[in-house]
Structure 1
Amino acid sequence: MKLFKYIGTGIRYGRVWPTKPELNAIFPENRIILLTHFAARYLPLLAFITAVVQYQLLGAAFLGQIVAMMLFIATMPLQGWYWLGVRANSDLPPALINWGNEIREQIQKHGKTEMLPGIPKSYFDLAKLLQQAYQQLNNTVMRRWF
């Protein structure tokens, strides 16, 4: 059951994380989220087409291998969502906690304290804080940290 919890958390984390180009150099999330969305969109269709073509070429004698390959290809997005779920629940290193506190202080300094998240302790907390910072602060303030 923990597997499904991590996958669900990963899906939510992928929706909350701000996919901004300046975050690419610091965090791998942007690439993982992009690849996972791409895989979720196209790999099930690719798995089906691959299975049909293999069945046409190889026949029913290889049905077990065809089904195994089709399931492997079709479930690849789950691996990305699982990784995101594990990452979302991971504790932040002290340097990122301090960085998150600086961002939080900037939001408070600009008077935007409604629904301000607490001190970030996990990557999911940091994602919520970054999302709010990108929504409420202007680009010059945000680019100062990158």
Structure 2
Amino acid sequence: MRLISTINSGYTYSRTWPAKPELNAIFPENKVIFLTRKAVRYLPALAILTAGIQLKLLGTDFLGQIIAMMLLLVSMPLQGWYWLGVRANTNLPPALITWAREIREQIQKQGNVDAVPGIPKNYLDLAHLLRQAYQQLDNSVMRRWF
């Protein structure tokens, strides 16, 4: 059950993380999320296509290997969500906590103090904070940190 909750957490994290180009230089999340979404879209069709080709060329003698290859291709998005789930629950390093506090203070200066999340402890909390910062703060304020 822990595996399923980690994958579910990764899926939630991939939906929460703001996909902004300026975050690419600091965090690998944008790349992993992009590749996971592409894998969800294209790998099932690719698995069926390659299985059909292999079945036609090799015959039913290699059915076990063909099924194993299909399962590997279809499981790739799950591997991406698993990595994101582990990352979402990882504690932030002290430098990122300080940076998140600065962003939180800017949000408090600009808008509703009650809607500001607490100080982030893990990457999922940071994703919520960054999403809110991109929604409430001006782009010039956000680009100052990048």
Distance 1:70 1:7 in 2: 20
Q: How many residues align?
A: 146
- Deviation of 1:115 after TM superposition, in Å, equals 2.1
- Deviation of 1:126 after TM superposition, in Å, equals 0.2
- CA deviations 1:3-48 (Å, max 9, x no partner) are 1011000000000000100000000000000000000110011001
Distance 1:97 1:110 in 2: 20
Aligned to 1:103: 103
Verify the 8 A CA contact 1:112 1:136 in the aligned structure 2: no
- Deviation of 1:114 after TM superposition, in Å, equals 3.8
Q: Which amino acid aligns with 2:65?
A: Q
Distance 1:114 1:58 in 2: 64
Aligned to 1:117: 117
Aligned to 1:55: 55
- Deviation of 1:112 after TM superposition, in Å, equals 2.7
- RMSD of aligned C-alpha atoms? 0.7
Verify the 8 A CA contact 1:36 1:80 in the aligned structure 2: yes
Distance 1:112 1:31 in 2: 32
TM-score, structure 2 as length reference: 0.98
TM-score, structure 1 as length reference: 0.98
Verify the 8 A CA contact 1:89 1:123 in the aligned structure 2: yes
Verify the 8 A CA contact 1:87 1:123 in the aligned structure 2: yes
Verify the 8 A CA contact 2:111 2:136 in the aligned structure 1: no
Identify unmatched segments of 5+ residues in structure 1: none
Counterpart check, 1:64 vs 2:64 = yes
Identify unmatched segments of 5+ residues in structure 2: none
Distance 1:29 1:133 in 2: 17
Identity %: 67
